Amino acid sequence: MDPRQGRAFVDGERTLVDRAVFSDPALYQQELGRVFARSWLFLAHETQFGRAGDFFTTFMGADPVIVTRQRDGTYRVLLNSCRHRGMRVCRYDSGNAKAFTCPYHGWSYGTDGTLIAVPEERAAYGERLDRSEWGLAAVPRVETYKGLVFGTWDTEIPPLREYLGDVTYFLDVLLDPDGQGAVMVPGVHKWRMRGNWKLAAEQFAGDTYHVASTHLSAVLAEPGRSDEAPMPTTGFQVAMSGGHGIGGLDGFDYWRTAGFSEEVCEWMAGLADRAERHLGRPRARDAVFFHGNVFPNLSLLFIRSNLRIWHPKGPDAMEVYSWAVVPASAPPAVRRALLLDYQRHFGPSGTWEQDDGEQWHYSAGSGDGFIARGLPLHYRMGHERVPQASFPDFPGSVDDVYSEANQRCFYERWSELMAVPHPAEFRDGARPGIGTAGGSVDAQVVAP
C-alpha cells in the first residue's frame, strides 16, 4: 500500500484498520505533516502564564516550540530551533525570560522571535546579515478557548471554535462548570512510553469497553467497592465531526463510591447544582463520568480532573504531558483531594495509568511481525446497530456505551487528512509558517 494514500489503511465499510497505522515509519513521517501540521494542537493553559515573558516549552507533532506571553497579554508560539545551526534556544520546561539565547553560537532572540543580537556580528558578517529575515519561525495562528491555548501551522484551517465544534459542549463541563473557569494545578507530569499515540487517543475518545478487563483489579481496590459491586454498564459514546469523541458512564455516585470525604462530596454536589444553572441539566447531570479526545491528541478525563497530550515520538513511542485541572472556585481542601485522586489513578505511577501503559506497550509491535502485519484489526463494535442510549440533548452521533463508533470517527478523520499530501512534500526547503527566505510569521491570538 502506498503510504501517501491514507484511506488504504482504514476500511470504513468493513470497519478494519491496518496494523501499519501503528507501526510503519514512512506512515509516521507522512503523519507529522498531514495530520499534525494541519490540525489545531493544544499547547498550554492560560493559568500557566502570569506575566509578560512567561514561557512554556512543548511540541507540535515532533517540532519543539516555545509558548510565550507577550506584553499585550497575547501569546506567541515559536519554533524552538536556532536559525543558525538548529540548536534549541530554550532548554527549560518553563520560566520567565526577556530573550532566548542559543548556547551554541550565541544568537539571541526576543520573546516575539525577532533576532536581536549576533555575537561579533560586524566581524563575522559585515553588513550582509539582515536580522529581519532570520528570526525564529512563528506559528501563524494562535487562538484560545476557555483558557486553553491552541496553535496551528495551517493558515487555511477554520477558526478554533469552528474546529472544536460540538466537543465544546463537553469541554465546558471540565473547563467552566460553574461560570468561574478552571485552573491548572502548577506543574506538569511528563513521561515516555512505548506505544503509538493513536492507540492512546482512540482509547480516550471512546473505549469504555476496556475498563472491565484492563482496570478490574484497580476498580475493585477502590474504597467502598467489593466483588459484589458491579461496574456500571450504562452510558454513552458520542462521535462528532472532525474526529472528536466523548464517552462516559452513568448510574452511580462516583465521589462517594471512591471514598472522598464528606466535605468533598458535599462541595461536588453543590458544583453539580451550580453547573445545572450554568450549563443546563443534561451536561451537569448526565455528562459527569466522561472521557474524551479532541482530535488529534488532546485527551481529557472529567472525573479524574485531567488534561493530557500524546506527543508522537516515532511510530512506536510517545511522550505524555499531563495536568490536573480543577474548578477555579474549588476551596483548597477540594483541590487537594482532586489532585490526589488524579495522581493515584492517572499520574505517572497511577494504578489505571500503569494498566493502560502495559496494553499500549505490548500492542506497539503488533505490526512488526511478517504474519501479524497482514492481519487487520477489528473496529466493528456497534456497527449497524440501533443505539439504545437516550441522551436527546447531546450533540453529535450518540451511541451505546459499548461501541467503537468514536474510534471509527477518529480514523475516518485521520484517513481524510492522510489521503492528501502536505504542500511542503512537493517543495524544496520550504516549511509551513517559515516561507522561503526565513522571516517569522506574525502569530494572531483570538479569544472567543
Looking up cell 514512512 gives 26
Residue among 410, 11, 384 at smallest CA distance from 240: 410
* pLDDT of 233 higher than 80: no
* pLDDT of 105 higher than 50: yes
DSSP state letters, 405-426: HHHHHHHHHHHHHHTS--GGGG
* pLDDT of 446 higher than 50: no
Beta bridge partner(s), residue 101: 108
Q: Compute the C-alpha angle 52/56/57, nearest 5°.
A: 140
- Phi/psi for 256 (5° steps) reads -75, -35
The fold adopted by the segment(s) 185-418 is Naphthalene 1,2-dioxygenase Alpha Subunit; Chain A, domain 1 (3.90.380)
Question: CA-based Rg of the chain, rounded to a whole angstrom?
Answer: 23
Mean pLDDT of 62-79: 98
Give the Å distances, CA to CA, from 275 to 112, 179, 211, 272, 335.
Answer: 39, 8, 27, 5, 17
The Cα–Cα gap between 183 and 416 comes to: 35
As a whole-number percent, the residues of the chain with pLDDT over 70 amount to 90
End-to-end Cα separation, the chain, in angstroms: 42
pLDDT at 7: 65
Q: How confident is the model at residue 59 (pLDDT cuts 50, 70, 90)?
A: very high
Q: Give the 3-state secondary structure of residue 404.
A: coil
In contact, 147 and 300? CB cutoff 8 Å:
no
Residue among 332, 326, 334, 341 at smallest CA distance from 182: 326
* pLDDT of 396 higher than 60: yes
pLDDT at 155: 96
- Amino acid identity for residue 444 in this structure: Q
The lowest-confidence range among 25-34, 293-302, 372-381 is 372-381
The Cα–Cα gap between 290 and 297 comes to: 17
In contact, 110 and 99? CB cutoff 8 Å:
yes
* pLDDT of 223 higher than 50: yes
Mean pLDDT of 303-307: 87
Mean pLDDT of 334-362: 86
The Cα–Cα gap between 263 and 327 comes to: 16
pTM for this entry: 0.91
Looking up cell 524552538 gives 80
* pLDDT of 158 higher than 70: yes
Rounding to the nearest 10 degrees, give the CA dihedral for residues 163, 167, 169, 174.
Answer: -110
* pLDDT of 198 higher than 70: yes
β-strand pairing of 235-239 with 75-79: unpaired
As a whole-number percent, the residues of the chain with pLDDT over 90 amount to 64
Give the list of residues 6+ apart from residue 302 with CB closer than 8 angstroms, or none: 170, 173, 174, 287, 288, 289, 290, 291
58 Rama sector, left if φ>0, alpha if ψ -120 to 50, beta otherwise: beta
380 Rama sector, left if φ>0, alpha if ψ -120 to 50, beta otherwise: alpha
Which residue did the predictor score with more confidence, 11 or 94?
Answer: 94
The Cα–Cα gap between 154 and 174 comes to: 27
* pLDDT of 121 higher than 80: yes
pLDDT at 392: 84
Looking up cell 493553559 gives 45
pLDDT at 5: 58
Domain ranges of the chain: 41-144+434-446, 185-418
* pLDDT of 77 higher than 80: yes
The lowest-confidence range among 6-15, 36-45, 211-220, 332-341 is 211-220
The fold adopted by the segment(s) 41-144+434-446 is Rieske Iron-sulfur Protein (2.102.10)
* pLDDT of 440 higher than 70: no
Looking up cell 496494553 gives 359
Looking up cell 544568537 gives 107
pLDDT at 386: 83
* pLDDT of 428 higher than 50: no
Q: Give the 3-state secondary structure of residue 247.
A: strand
243 Rama sector, left if φ>0, alpha if ψ -120 to 50, beta otherwise: left
Helices 405-418 and 197-206, packing angle to 10 deg: 140
In contact, 14 and 408? CB cutoff 8 Å:
no
In contact, 386 and 30? CB cutoff 8 Å:
no
pLDDT at 208: 82
Mean pLDDT of 110-116: 98
The Cα–Cα gap between 268 and 276 comes to: 12
Would you say the CATH fold of 185-418 matches that of 41-144+434-446?
Answer: no
